[in-house]
Amino acid sequence: MTVQTAVSAKDIEEAFLSLQPIVKETPLEKDHYLSLKYDCNVYLKREDLQWVRSFKLRSAYNAIQVLSESEKAKGITCASAGNHAQGVAFTAQRLGLKAVIFMPVTTPLQKINQVKFFGGENVEVILVGDTFDDCLKEALEYTEKHAMNFIDPFDNVNTIAGQGTIAAEILKEAQESNIDVDYLFAAIGGGGLISGVGTYFKEKSPQTKIVGVEPKGAASMYTSVVLEHHRVKLPEIDKFVDGASVAQVGKITFEIAKKVVDDYLQIDEGAVCSTILDMYSKQAIVAEPAGALSVSALEQYRDQIKGKTVVCIISGGNNDINRMKEIEERSLLYEEMKHYFIFNFPQRPGALREFVNEVLGPNDDITKFEYLKKSSQNTGTVIIGIQLNNHDDLTRLKEKVHEFDPSNIYINENKMLYSLLI
């Protein structure tokens, strides 16, 4: 049997019609804050407002509904960092199917609980593996052993067509508002979203430039398409942007992306954190890291998008509130506002006052101070965290710290030491 490896605008339009009774038509909203900030017209496609708070409902439902009745009776499986799992769970409950869902052990608890909520008694959740790829291996072995149907999160034409329905919806809404889209920014994980959306835009709005956005620590599509010119598996990834941290993109999505994506951007995870906080404080939008990728990319395209019409897909809003402290920390480190040092501290009265007066600026703040006095020594080792009011003061701070202790260690530049101590 020949396996379909291409998706067309017609496939996406058929999926769009079949999904209309199921998925929510999410708004395409003009964002006045971002439009003013970048001197252009920025519209946000709010897939974070979807029923399962991400676009993955579209692809999961579309991939499952095309199964035959005999296939549905065998049950379905999937591997997911969270959002695809919620889409599969929602669909399984809606269609009355048995589903076994594999999720990495590192998946935020909020996403695990949401999967159980949407799936109810129809769904069994199995946590296994540290990464998506480890989880995927276990899921495929289980699927084969139990003769079930694996619902791929991205490397399946029906999955891709379902995700492409976002593009059909965007252009429908844009036409109703007399909008011509110059740029479209979308996140890339395994490549399903960018493949579906890119395919539809290239056929229906070829003048629109398609920009794929990946986390810097997991840029598997950029590495495969641009650097290596073949599909590769990254030996190591940063899992922070969990919804888009995939070591290897799909075979089908790789081939499609080569044809439909005009540019690839890699965004530092710290910049993503800054965007999440900015969206929350300025726009009251709760975006997960992968959902904020598209907006994070605007800074790199500031000059190109000036005066243009831009659409950013906010792909998901399943952000665990327990991660907010880490998100704030990563943002401060990226913005060069928070700095950690190890140095020798004199063990004499008044030493701390001397440090504060001679090293810190008037608006600097000590956020961490760990020190154990040892009576048999003249100095003791200190771990100190300092938050600046202005990142331009960093050079001055380093100079002052060096004067205080020339042998100091700047922890920010040592990832292993930072992870161990902070």
Catalytic residues: 56, 315
How many C-beta neighbours within 10 Å does residue 206 have? Answer: 8
Closest CA to 24 of 85, 80, 90, 92: 90
Q: How far apart are the first and last CA of the chain?
A: 55
Closest CA to 187 of 233, 150, 218: 218
Closest CA to 297 of 227, 244, 226: 244
Closest CA to 110 of 327, 328, 322: 322
- The sheet carrying 209-215 orders its strands as 28-30, 41-46, 309-314, 183-187, 209-215, 263-267
What backbone torsions phi and psi does residue 420 show, to the nearest 5 degrees? -75, -40
How many C-beta neighbours within 10 Å does residue 141 have? Answer: 11
Distance CA 190, CA 12 (A): 19
Distance CA 69, CA 18 (A): 17
